[in-house]
Structure 1
Amino acid sequence: MTPMGDPVPVRPPVRIANCSGFYGDRLSAMHEMLAGGELDYLTGDYLAELTMLILGRDRMKDPDRGYARTFLRQLEECVGLAADRGVRIVANAGGLNPAALARAVRSLTEKLGVAVSVAHVEGDDLLSRAEALGLGDPLTANAYLGAWGIVECLTARADIVVTGRVTDASVVVGPAAAHFGWRRTDFDRIAGAVAAGHVIECGTQATGGNFAFFARDFPDLTALTRPGFPIAEIHADGTSVITKHPGTGGAVTTDTVTAQLLYEITGARYANPDATLRVDSIELSADGVDRVRISGVRGEPPPPTAKVGLNTLGGFRNEMTFVLTGLDVEAKAGLVRHQLEAGLTVRPAEMDWTLARTDRPDADSEQAASALLRCVVRDPDPDVVGRRFSSAAVELALASYPGFTTTAPPGDGQVYGVFTAAYVPATEVPHTAVRPDGTHVDIEAAPQTLALADLPAPVLPDAPTPGSTRRVPLGTIAGARSGDKGGSANVGVWVSSAQQWAWLVHTLTVDTVRELLPEVADLPVTRHVLPNLRAVNFVIDGILGKGVAYQARFDPQAKGLGEWLRSRHIDIPEELLA
């Protein structure tokens, strides 16, 4: 940690903005951010676990591909504006091929006649060493690098830095560390930038997008037509203010920032290759309209291991959804299931059935009278889940339950991927900055590390005195955000007041969550308590099977899991509902 007497250089805050939260985000966002106000850096996060699988398949077709091509489309319109405004760009759009993207950027800027210097960061791709590192034979194997390759490129005066698989926050940490000249052991300051980076890396999720209380906080829905992308004003001591350009949609509030801080985390320690962020240390406070200050952040040395994301091709999948209308829904489901399974000459390796009772009795529309029966099949042989499965399903059209229909005709089997995370010693992962002049600089592993460990249980407020309650949805007072972590999911739940927090932390236990969400009743569930954020975070292992592309459930990324939890009814004290 930073020594207490270490002087902090007096420099103005650095303004670092985001223009992409995923591969496919708003194409115009780069121009909006550059034209909307003053910035020092513009960053973009284009990578996710599923994206790496998509890019891996791209690279199989063409070894010169494997990067986010939309980044080039954005640059074609915006690189001149960025150069004119002196805004430097850092993005992980390089995916599996950052060197190829850097070459493409140079070719583009030369064609446009815009004089900018381009650098890239590489070393994360461990595919050629996967077997030697005990990682098997995956399609992709990418370690999560930190920020210091970006720092080296920026110090070498690069205007555009593209990377492969760095952590989402690293594209923000790198510019901040380069701007202020932080040392690698300035863990509190680095962790502050990690927190800011985590808030803005998913774009408009920090400014009202996917926000639990949108109906309460945005009664005029036009305010959410196009939420503005977020900006982090990071100070030399690691504190920051999250904001957005004036006049843009959405809002930045302590609730929108809390929601994003809880997104896809585990416990009180949030590991990063440069510093471990103590999430339990974060303090949020309003700093004016659309301004939220993040302070009090503590950091620790990073863990000695590096996370490696592995994508493998798991086989082929297909699905059919049958529409069951009116009476005898359960019997209709039983009939078509029996018929389809009996009609398959070869049974797929996996066959999952899910009946969604979306029907209502005495419904006033046919749609409201209908339920959905979904059948998902997986097998190593594409023919088993393709032609054979589809033919068996189609043959039932005139021979099954009354009112037989499906949501779509059957198709061919599609390849699916399996994501797993592995860990290797950080010293085994090369990390190379390729400067604008083409020279390569090796970035050493962190000089100081600390293995992750559980923290002592935090001090909790006293449980509230029992009183009169009302049975209402949990979301009446609690917000939530959920997301995927490989085959697992997290659900972060928070409240706004100290009184609500005293009730929530004693009420929303693992057993309560298992009761409210029957789908997780038999799965490992871990609760993490974060008093500063008045939040509890639940990690549910195995709910997504073998990862997003496996599609074990109809919500394969668990994005709606938190909203399901909020919709469940629970006894809440009357005084908290006033």
Structure 2
Amino acid sequence: MLRIGNASGFYGDRFAAFREMLEQGPLDVLTGDYLAELTMLILARDRMKDPGLGYARTFLRQAEESLALALERGVRIVVNAGGLNPARLAAALAELADRQGLSARIAHVTGDDLLPRAAEFGRTDLLAANAYLGAGGIAACLTAGADVVVTGRVTDAALVVGPAMAHYGWGQGDLDALAGAVVAGHVLECGAQATGGNYAFFREHDITRPGFPIAEVYADGSSVITKHPGTGGAVTVETVTAQLLYETGGPRYLGPDVTARLDTVTLAEDGPDRVRIGGVRGEAPPATLKVGLNRLGGFRNEVVFVLTGLDIEAKADLVERQLTAELTDPPAEVRWTLVRTDRADADTEETASALLRLTVRDRDERRVGRAVTTAAVELALSGYPGFHVTAPPGPGSPYGVFESVAVDAKSVEHTAVLPDGTRLPIDAPAVTATTPDEAPELPALPRPLPEVPTRRAPLGLVVGARSGDKGGDANLGVWARSDAGWRWLAHTLTTDLLRELLPEAAELTLERHLLPNLRAVNFTLAGLLGEGVAAQARFDPQAKALGEWLRSRYVDIPEVLL
């Protein structure tokens, strides 16, 4: 059994978690996931200012206080904190080890940076272009004796799959084992989201300070998800289900090492704070790798007007007309959003107030900067009664655009740089799927519940949900809490009903996938997020709360479920 812990789910996660995971109990490997679509843009802008940057500097500070402890306890570290500059981070770690008098074998993985191939992608304005590498480079580094492995853009699950490959000697043909490790890696990748964080039924557990997750991975690829004893939060079938649904789509979960069949996953309680994952089937991976492209899309600005008391809509109309008249050269995109946070006969001024948000975007910074802020400020004494804004208007700020393309995996020079400096090429999988996007046979729907009395109530009383972003698309997973609930959910929550409950999705292309083993339906809402999180095209740009909005909507629910 190989114990793999996670201490970071994103760049900015709990700083102390790295040290705590080493101190709180035994581990064989400690991973940290620092990269996301938005993070790559942040790191690209860092690199523009200083070519020696481009990595997650937080990890270097964590290593300063934790590297000695990891070496003392024999815990190997695998992180993707290298971002756009894994070689520089590896060198900085070697310098740190020398300063502390430590003997650390440090390796890194490279080859994901495809920015020199920008013209191939039809763009000359890219800030970053990175292929999502698999786990082979990590495995090679660990097999060569590395204590620390730093990567750039690999798949999040690769941080778990790589150590398991090295430990058990799996090859490219061990598809079921690899798929099981991918599922375990997906559960771990977002840190405390597997132990009660962002969990729909959070009131059932103490998540004041949840611990971080651990996967006990076995030779056949099965695993047990748990956490260190005495740490906060909870590991249950439902917390693991929630994370499995996060940022996934259909039954086939494509990856560079294997395609994991999410419709084969089984979950079972294995004791307090222990959930066993088994049954995972794997198929050959696609012949291509996903490449994330980041570029600047233009500039944006935002002003939020506070409207208090009576005549809210008339006040909103007045300020919109006044400001529109002042913008003689208006930005390319102007959006007004009235958020009715006000209440009638309110006993505080804040609860008597609504917010009117003005968002502007343009390729020309001048059109969203002083021209907008000056026009807004000049209305202060000539506008609606009670005029004020939530913050002083500022200059425009750049926004990013993320998109993805596919390239032949064999055209990417995936390389493991071993502790002694040897550069070891990592071969792409020899056997790949010819139709990786072909949907598997649809599972049969469960028997519907018989006709029973219903009551109109919030959907979230009987189902959980977890949502997130994939580029410009949103993912929304919904699961039932019982077999009876699944029989109702599978027949009730159709794409048509979802359009009614979430009017923002009414005109979008929606996909619905059934995952009976998880008692879940998983939706993809194409284009809900525009050009991705960095473009901030929506109030909730990463769709983090989309599931909670759905759970708050009223539907007719069988009383037997309530």
Corresponding residue of 1:4:
none
Q: Tell me the amino acid that sits aligned with residue 192 of structure 1.
A: G
The answer to whether the aligner puts 1:520 opposite 2:505 as a matched pair is yes
Instruction: Tell me the distance in 2 between the aligned counterparts of 1:398 and 1:249.
Output: 52
Contact 1:420–1:486 under 8 Å retained in 2: yes
Structure-1 residue corresponding to 2:248: 265
The answer on whether the counterparts of 2:200 and 2:466 sit within 8 Å (CA) in structure 1 is yes
Q: How does 1:117-516 map to 2 (within 5 A)?
A: 117-134=105-122, 136-215=124-203, 217-218=204-205, 223-450=206-433, 451-516=436-501
- Structure 1 residue runs of 5 or longer lacking an equivalent are 1-12
In 2: Cα distance, 1:213 partner to 1:272 partner: 31
Structure-1 separation of matches of 2:254 and 2:412: 17
Letter in structure 2 aligned against 1:190: L
Partner of 2:94 in structure 1? 106
Q: Which amino acid aligns with 1:409?
A: P
Q: What is the deviation of 1:50?
A: 0.3
C-alpha separation in 1, matches of 2:483 and 2:208: 33
Give me the whole-angstrom Cα distance separating, in 2, the residues matched to 1:523 and 1:332: 32
Assess if the C-alpha contact under 8 Å between 1:390 and 1:410 holds in 2. Answer: yes
Letter in 1 for 2:143: T
Gaps of 5+ in 2: none
The answer as to whether partners of 1:144 and 1:308 remain within 8 angstroms in 2 is yes
The alpha carbon displacement at 1:569 in A equals 0.5
Alpha-carbon contact 1:131-1:137 (below 8 Å) kept: no
Distance 1:275 1:457 in 2: 21
CA contact (8 A) 1:56 1:96 kept: yes
CA distance in 1, matches of 2:336, 2:104: 55
**In structure 1, C-alpha distance between the alignment counterparts of 2:155 and 2:520, rounded to whole Å:** 24
Q: Distance in 2 between matches of 1:427 and 1:181?
A: 23
CA distance in 2, matches of 1:116, 1:135: 41
Cα distance between partner residues in 2 of 1:542 and 1:398: 40
Instruction: Kindly state the Cα deviation for residue 456 of structure 1 after the two structures are TM-superposed.
Output: 1.6
Q: Please state how far the C-alpha of 1:133 moved relative to its aligned partner.
A: 4.7
Give the conservation status (yes or no) of the 8 Å contact 2:265–2:279: yes
Instruction: Tell me the residue number matched to 1:548.
Output: 533
Q: 2:6 aligns with which of 18, 21, 30?
A: 18
Q: Secondary structure at the match of 1:489?
A: strand
More deviation, 319-328/197-206: 319-328
Once the two structures are TM-superposed, the CA of residue 500 in structure 1 deviates from its matched residue by: 0.4
Q: What CA deviation, in whole Å up to 9, does each residue of 1:104-138 have, x standing for no partner?
A: 00000110111110000000000001213545541
Work out whether residues 416 and 549 of structure 1, in 8 Å CA contact, stay in contact via their aligned partners in 2. yes
Q: Report the Cα offset of residue 507 of structure 1.
A: 0.3
Q: For the residues of structure 1 that align with 2:525 and 2:354, how far apart are their CA atoms?
A: 28
Equivalent residue letter for 1:555: D
CA offsets 1:201-225 (integer angstroms, 9 cap, x no match): 100000001110011x12xxxx322
Q: Distance in 1 between matches of 2:451 and 2:307?
A: 45
1:510 deviates by 0.3
Match of 1:5 in 2: none
Within 2, Cα distance between the matches of 1:421 and 1:449?
Answer: 20
Matched residue type, 1:371: A
- Output aligned runs, 1:60-99, within 5 Å: 60-99=48-87
Kindly provide the amino acid, as one letter, of the partner of residue 185 in structure 1.
Answer: G
* 1:39 to 2:24 alignment: no
1:7 maps to none
Q: Over the residues paired in the alignment, what is the CA RMSD in angstroms?
A: 0.9
Whether the 8 Å CA contact 1:258–1:533 is kept in 2: the answer is yes
String of CA shifts for 1:260-312, please: whole Å, max 9, x gaps.
00000011011111001100000000000000000000011111111000111
Q: Give TM-score scaled by structure 1 length.
A: 0.96
Secondary structure in 2 matching 1:93: coil
What is aligned with 1:564?
549
Any idea what the Cα deviations from partners look like across 1:209-260, whole Å, max 9, x if unmatched? 1110011x12xxxx32210000000000000000000000001000100000
**Percent identical residues:** 66
Preserved CA contact (<8 Å) 1:15 1:233: yes
Distance in 1 of aligned mates of 2:7 and 2:125: 35
Q: Conserved in 2, the CA contact under 8 Å of 1:133 and 1:424?
A: no
CA distance in 1, matches of 2:437, 2:474: 20
Shift of 1:452: 2.4
Q: Is the 8 A contact 1:135 1:422 kept in 2?
A: no
Match of 2:41 among 35, 49, 53: 53
Following superposition, the deviation at residue 517 of structure 1 comes to 0.7
Find runs of 4+ consecutive structure 1 residues off by over 6 angstroms: none
SS at the partner of 2:83? coil
**Do the aligned residues in 2 keep the contact of 1:347 with 1:384 (CA within 8 Å)?**
yes
| Contact map agreement 1:92 1:165 (CA 8 A) in 2 | yes
* 1:241/1:291 contact within 8 Å kept: yes
Q: Distance in 2 between matches of 1:404 and 1:522?
A: 36
The answer to whether the Cα contact below 8 Å between 2:125 and 2:296 also exists between their aligned partners in 1 is no
Per the TM alignment, residue 542 of structure 1 is displaced from its structure 2 partner at its CA by 1.0
Alignment counterpart, residue 533 of structure 1, candidates 509, 512, 518: 518
Measured in 2, the distance between the counterparts of 1:314 and 1:91 equals 29
The one-letter amino acid of 1:509's match is T
Q: Is the 8 A contact 1:147 1:274 kept in 2?
A: yes
Give the TM-score normalised by structure 2: 0.99
* Cα deviation, residue 444, structure 1: 1.0
How many residues matched?
A: 560
| DSSP-derived class of the 1:311 partner | strand
Partner Cα distance (1:161, 1:482) in 2:
31
Taking the aligned partners of 2:3 and 2:316, their CA distance within structure 1 comes to 57
Cα deviation, residue 497, structure 1: 1.0
Once residues 358 and 413 of structure 2 are traced to their aligned partners in structure 1, the CA distance between those partners, rounded to angstroms, is: 44
Counterpart Cα distance in 2 of 1:135 and 1:285: 48
Are the equivalent residues in 2 in contact too, given 1:15–1:40 (CA < 8 A)?
Answer: yes
CA distance in structure 1 between the aligned counterparts of 2:224 and 2:135, rounded to whole angstroms: 20
